[in-house]
Amino acid sequence: MIEMKSGAVSADLTKQEAKEITDRIRDSIEKTYELVLRAYERKAWKALGYKTWEAYVQTEFDMSRRRSYQLLDQGRVIRAIEEAAGGNVNHGTQISERDAREIKSKLPEIKEEIRSRVEAGQEPDRAAEKAIAEAKRAEKEKAKAEKAEKQAELDRQREQNAAALPDSIKQHEARKQEAIAARQRQSSDNGLSPEDRLTELEEANRLLEEENAALKETVAKFSKMEAEYKAGGFEEIIAGKDEEIRVLETRLYRESEDKASWMKSSKFWKAEAIKLGYSNDVVFDIETGEVVNG
């Protein structure tokens, strides 16, 4: 038994004492999940007068609810593995909370694999170790495949969006990529002179200005439609376009009526002028304003 007096500087531990304290620390760390699981399953919080499990772990251990459930998952996973292997498994104490989180969704398959290996004559520790390693490897491969699939979908959407851009933006993007490629080729040489570098920066700035102008044009074109869409969806956009058509049709009808009225009036006064003896060819003197002939 190791004893330490408060306020005194302790002597160095002997090898045996160091082993004892190390084992106690390891045991305390490794068995935390087991004690937390037992406290949860046997409702320790109720026995101590707490209304909830969260209040119990927060007050007694300054532990968050999330952390407590991580330990509970670790305890359940280790217990299930030990049961599948026959109960005498030291490997369970080597399963970290992170390991438990990674393999808990595969626990039924892992248990079945462990039982099969043990029945085939493999040592319980070895059977558990192999089954867990295979499950973790399968989860990593699955995550890798899902990530690749997600990236492929993002690439497909990016290409689709790029194909839908206006030709002006496509052309600008092509010029920008050409400029980038040219800059990379130049940089791969022995380096650029200050003059060449300045020219490169000026060209990059020009391309950015073109891109900015193209984007402003696109924003101006679609900003009104975007506002209408946010206000009422596609129905609002269609209603706005219908209103524009109605206004244009009204203007067209009004101008047509005005032109018809002007034409009718013109024909009337022309007929009256002919009755008074005027011809179609009338010449006025600009100085006097009098009719020269007609």
**DSSP notation for 206-274:** HHHHHHHHHHHHHHHHHHHHHHHHHHHHHHHHHHHHHHHHHHHHHHHHHHHHHHHHHHHHHHHHHHHHH
Alpha carbon 16 to its chain's center: 55
Phi, psi of 290 (to 5 degrees): -95, 155
Measured CA angle at 40 (ends 37, 42), to 5 deg:
105
What is the three-class DSSP state of 291? Answer: strand
What is the three-class DSSP state of 32? Answer: helix
CB 278 within 8 A of CB 284: no
pLDDT confidence of residue 256: 76
* DSSP designation for 290: -
240 and 277 belong to one structural domain? yes
78 and 106 belong to one structural domain? yes
33 and 148 belong to one structural domain? yes
What type of residue sits at position 142?
K
Give tens-digit pLDDT for 24-49: 766 666 678 888 888 899 898 889 89
* Domain end residue (candidates: 156, 178, 195): 156
* Domain end residue (candidates: 156, 188, 214): 156
123 and 193 belong to one structural domain? no
34 and 110 belong to one structural domain? yes
* Domain end residue (candidates: 130, 156, 182): 156
Q: Per-residue pLDDT averaged across 234-248, rounded?
A: 73
Is the pLDDT assigned to residue 119 strictly greater than 50? yes
Q: In angstroms, what CA-CA distances link 10 with 6, 16, 73, 100? A: 9, 16, 39, 39
Does residue 5 belong to any structural domain of this protein?
no
The boundaries of the domain holding residue 118 are 15-156
| pTM (whole model) above 0.85 | no
Q: Give the position of tokens 């050409």.
A: 178
| 51 — pLDDT class (breaks 50, 70, 90) | very high
Does residue 1 belong to any structural domain of this protein?
no
| 92 — pLDDT class (breaks 50, 70, 90) | very low
Q: How many domains does the chain have?
A: 2
